[in-house]
């Protein structure tokens, strides 16, 4: 089988640029990006946003692409130096053994809050059938996310001064502000997104929450959402009227245009799990336009979930997402060929987060009371040179222990091919998401309260879905299982841009101990150098 490889020459990320790999007959795809700032007013306030051309320092991350044996291409500060102004870098990686819906975004500081994201679609090879009829209407990519009218530098300064970011100014859908569904709430003149469709046809909507930290409920007026895929895994197909999509998550829905074709319909993404009247403004609205429609959307927006007194609603929805065991994905063999219930757990990590605190006079976020700080030299680069020492320590506590909170470049010393249980315990008051680079993991359990070993009795070890980003509800835990078979140094981080910047992350260092068996790809010939690894002249 020909390997499928992408070469991404980055000088940047075009907002809403869609990358697609379609055929094993054409195994190498090349994309050239440039980055710059432009002035735009998605919510009516002029500000700097990311657009093709040039950016002073830049690094990009492909959410969910596993980069097998190749953490050099991960695009985070633990593996890559930022791309300086006037320089370039080629991301060179395979998407072998993956299919599905992913996206990329800038990963330095709070640049993601300025846009610069886009979609990545990896299609099945022609010999591997889809577990549903090919949608006759085609593919539609939808980006939803909260948005601030401040630029990303001002947001960074706000956090550096010890103040949390507060309530976003709105929600964008495909980079555009809300349709004016209420003349008393919304100003005139804001550009909104219109998605054009044909009556009777079915479309695959790939929906990504690319915002800073707000969980969003996605729904389309009078239309059902048939869930078919999430982050590279085909799911058991189920219909929903609305769906919670948390920061960093990606889903595919089949949506059939089966309503009255003389009307348009609302597409809504509204904030979840937040109280207070000011949060009502954190709502994005687009228009689903039937080609034969003569009328704008009518009536109020479709209702969000009415679960104020039933906090299990969203968690039960999350539990309903199951792996389609009979479907094939990147390979002809069914997804369910991998039996997680028959594998013994090698080690358990319990990772607990709390609300941000002050450490040494700085506002910081922690996991197990460690707030990560990125050293000047990327961890993976330091490992490559024997004379570079002291960049980081393999002392990250994999369970909560008593002790004073600290700021450190602390890394988990993981064991190659261990089958690890990771429990995320969220002792904060807001929903958290966690993303693990280099891997898909199996989501086996959610519940409110403190996790104990007895909670394993509730795990789903039969058809737990595999994905790369998972939510953890406030005052609750989420458990995942993952086989650590991808060597390298891999980032494990909060999906919240605010919490990530404040230190709620760590890395897993996974080395193959077998002698004379090099399983990680060598340092790229065009590698950038920084910190203790000097810049070449």
Residue 432 reports pLDDT greater than 80: yes
pLDDT at 75 over 70: yes
Residue 2 has pLDDT above 90, yes or no: no
Mean pLDDT for 459-476 is 96
Task: Please tell me which residue, 12 or 114, carries the higher pLDDT value.
Answer: 114
Q: Using the predicted structure, report yes or no on whether residue 26 has a pLDDT greater than 80.
A: no
> Does the pLDDT at position 59 exceed 60?
no
- If one compares 306 and 18, the residue with the highest pLDDT of the two is 306
One CATH from 2.60.40.420, 2.40.30.30, 3.30.70.20, 3.30.1130.10 for 126-320: 2.60.40.420
pLDDT for position 62:
60
Residues with Cβ within 8 Å of 428's Cβ and at least 6 positions away in sequence, in order, are: 353, 354, 355, 474
Give the SS3 label for residue 173.
strand
- Nearest-5° angle of CA 173, CA 35, CA 86? 165
pLDDT of the residue at 67: 61
- The pLDDT-based confidence of 63 (bands split at 50, 70, 90) is low
Taking the alpha carbons of 44, 50, 56, 58 in that order, is the dihedral positive or negative?
positive
User: To the nearest 5 percent, what fractions of the chain are helix, strand and coil?
Assistant: 10, 40, 50
Query: For the chain, how far is it from start to end, CA to CA, in angstroms?
Result: 40
Across the strands, what pairs with 103?
63, 119
d(CA 31, CA 92): 11
Instruction: Find the mean pLDDT for residues 260-267.
Output: 97
The three-point CA angle 449-481-103 to 5° equals 100
pLDDT at 11: 33
Higher pLDDT, 206 or 531: 206
> Contact 346/419 with Cβ under 8 angstroms?
yes
For 388-449, give the DSSP string. Answer: --SS-BS---SS--SS--EEE-B-EEEETT-EEEEEEEE-SSS-EEEEETT--EEEEEEEES
What pLDDT does residue 45 have?
A: 94
* Cα dihedral 101/526/515/484 (nearest 10): -20
Model confidence at 225: pLDDT above 90: yes
Reply yes or no on whether the pLDDT at 53 is more than 50.
no
Please, which pLDDT band fits residue 424 given cuts at 50, 70 and 90?
Answer: very high
Question: pLDDT at position 405, please?
Answer: 97
pLDDT band at 1 (very low <50, low <70, confident <90, very high): very low
Predicted confidence band of residue 21 (pLDDT cuts 50, 70, 90) = low
pLDDT number for residue 186: 83
**Does the pLDDT value for residue 137 go beyond 90?**
yes
Reduce the DSSP state of residue 140 to 3 states and report it.
strand
Q: Is 158 or 25 the better-scoring residue by pLDDT? A: 158
* Position with higher pLDDT, 383 vs 346: 346
In whole numbers, what is the pLDDT of the chain averaged over residues?
87
444-460: average pLDDT: 97
> Mean of the pLDDT values across residues 362-369?
98
CA proximity to 368, closest of 315, 317, 412: 412
* pLDDT greater than 50 at residue 9: no
pLDDT score, position 5: 46
Question: Which of 173-182, 396-405, 524-533 shows the lowest mean pLDDT across its residues?
Answer: 524-533
Confidence of residue 141 (pLDDT cuts 50, 70, 90): very high
For residue 444, the model assigns a pLDDT of 97
Place of tokens 């939803």: 144
Contacts of 211 (CB under 8 A, 6+ apart): 144, 145, 146, 147, 168, 171, 247
Environment class of 88 (CB within 10 Å of its CB; exposed 0-12, middle 13-18, buried 19+) = middle
pLDDT of residue 123: 86
Tell me how far the alpha carbon of residue 515 is from its chain's centroid.
35
State the Cα–Cα distance between residues 6 and 104, nearest whole angstrom. Answer: 13
Q: Is 207 exposed, middle or buried (0-12, 13-18, 19+ CB in 10 A)?
A: buried
* pLDDT of 397 strictly over 60: yes
pLDDT at 80: 83
Instruction: Give CA–CA dist 393/372, Å, rounded.
Output: 11
Q: Which CATH superfamily is domain 340-533 in?
A: Cupredoxins -  blue copper proteins (2.60.40.420)
Domain residue extents for the chain: 126-320, 340-533
Does this chain's domain 126-320 share its CATH topology with 340-533? yes
Q: Which of 446, 499, 492 is nearest to 471 (CA)?
A: 446
pLDDT in tens, 482-514: 999 888 899 999 999 999 999 999 999 998 877
pLDDT at 517: 61
H or E stretch covering 352: strand 347-353
Residue 66: band (very low, low, confident or very high) from pLDDT cuts 50, 70, 90: low
- pLDDT score, position 304: 93
pLDDT surpassing 60 at residue 52 = no
Those residues whose C-beta lies under 8 Å from the C-beta of residue 94, and which sit 6 or more positions away, are: 3, 4, 5, 6, 67, 68, 70
pLDDT tens for residues 85-101?
A: 777 777 777 776 788 89
Percentage with pLDDT > 70 across the chain: 88
Helix/strand/coil (H, E, C) string of 179-242?
A: CCCCCCCCCCCCCECEEEECCCCEEEEEEEECCCCCCEEEEECCCCEEEEEECCEEEEEEEECC
- In this structure, the number of other CB atoms found within 10 A of the CB of residue 457 comes to 7
Separation of alpha carbons 94 and 521, rounded Å: 12
- DSSP assignment of 39-73: EE-TTSS-EEEEESS--SEE-EEEET---TT-GGG
Structure confidence at residue 380 (pLDDT): 86
In the three-class reduction of DSSP (H, G, I as helix; E, B as strand; rest coil), residue 520 is classed as coil
Check if the beta carbon of residue 161 is closer than 8 Å to that of residue 140. Answer: no
Nearest by Cα to 429 from 493, 488, 474: 474
Query: Cα–Cα distance between 95 and 123 in angstroms, integer?
Result: 10
Mean pLDDT lowest among 130-144, 334-348, 389-403:
334-348
Q: Which two tokens stand for residue 172?
A: 């964008």
């Amino acid at each position: 089988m020909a390997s499928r490889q992408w070469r991404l020459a980055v000088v940047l990320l075009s907002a809403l640029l869609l990358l697609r790999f379609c055929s094993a007959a054409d195994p190498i795809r090349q994309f050239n990006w440039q980055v710059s700032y432009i002035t735009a007013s998605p919510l009516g306030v002029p500000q700097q946003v990311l657009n093709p051309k040039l950016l002073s320092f830049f690094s990009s991350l492909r959410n969910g692409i596993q980069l097998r044996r190749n953490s050099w291409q991960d695009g985070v500060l633990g593996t890559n130096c930022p791309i300086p102004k006037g320089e370039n870098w080629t991301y060179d990686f395979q998407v072998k053994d993956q299919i599905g819906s992913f996206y990329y975004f800038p990963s330095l500081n709070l640049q993601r809050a300025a846009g610069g994201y886009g979609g990545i679609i990896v299609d099945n090879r022609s010999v591997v059938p889809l577990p549903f009829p090919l949608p006759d209407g085609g593919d539609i990519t939808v980006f939803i996310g909260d948005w601030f009218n401040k630029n990303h530098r001002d947001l960074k300064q706000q956090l550096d001064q010890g103040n949390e970011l507060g309530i976003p100014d709105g929600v964008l859908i495909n980079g555009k502000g809300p349709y004016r569904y209420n003349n008393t709430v919304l100003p005139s003149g804001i550009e909104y997104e219109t998605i054009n469709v044909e009556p009777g046809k079915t479309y695959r909507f790939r929906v990504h929450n690319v915002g800073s930290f707000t969980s969003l409920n996605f729904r389309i007026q009078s239309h059902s959402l048939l869930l078919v895929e999430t982050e590279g895994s085909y799911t058991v197909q189920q219909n929903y009227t609305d769906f919670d999509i948390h920061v960093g998550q990606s889903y595919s829905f089949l949506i059939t245009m089966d309503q009255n074709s003389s009307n348009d319909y609302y597409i809504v993404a509204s904030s979840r799990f937040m109280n207070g009247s000011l949060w009502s403004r954190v709502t994005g609205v687009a228009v689903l336009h039937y080609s034969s429609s003569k009328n704008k959307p009518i009536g109020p927006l479709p209702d969000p979930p009415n679960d104020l007194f039933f906090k299990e609603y969203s968690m039960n929805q999350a539990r309903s997402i199951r792996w389609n065991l009979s479907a094939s994905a990147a390979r002809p063999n069914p997804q369910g060929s991998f039996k997680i219930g028959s594998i013994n757990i090698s080690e358990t990590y319990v990772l607990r987060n709390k609300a941000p605190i002050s450490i040494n006079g700085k506002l910081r976020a922690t996991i197990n009371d460690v707030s990560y700080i990125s050293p000047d030299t990327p961890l993976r680069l330091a490992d490559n040179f024997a004379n570079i020492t002291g960049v980081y320590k393999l002392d990250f506590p994999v369970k909560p222990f008593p002790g004073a909170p600290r700021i450190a470049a602390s890394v988990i010393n993981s064991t190659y091919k261990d089958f690890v249980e990771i429990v995320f315990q969220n002792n904060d008051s807001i929903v958290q998401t966690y993303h693990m680079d280099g891997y898909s993991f199996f989501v086996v359990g959610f519940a409110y309260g403190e996790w104990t070993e007895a909670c394993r009795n509730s795990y789903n070890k039969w058809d737990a879905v595999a994905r790369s980003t998972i939510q953890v509800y406030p005052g609750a835990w989420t458990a995942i299982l993952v086989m650590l078979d991808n060597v390298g140094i891999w980032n494990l981080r909060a999906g919240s841009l605010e919490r990530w910047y404040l230190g709620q992350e760590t890395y897993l260092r996974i080395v193959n101990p077998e002698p004379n068996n090099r399983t990680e790809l060598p340092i790229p010939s065009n590698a950038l150098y920084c910190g203790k690894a000097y810049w070449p002249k």
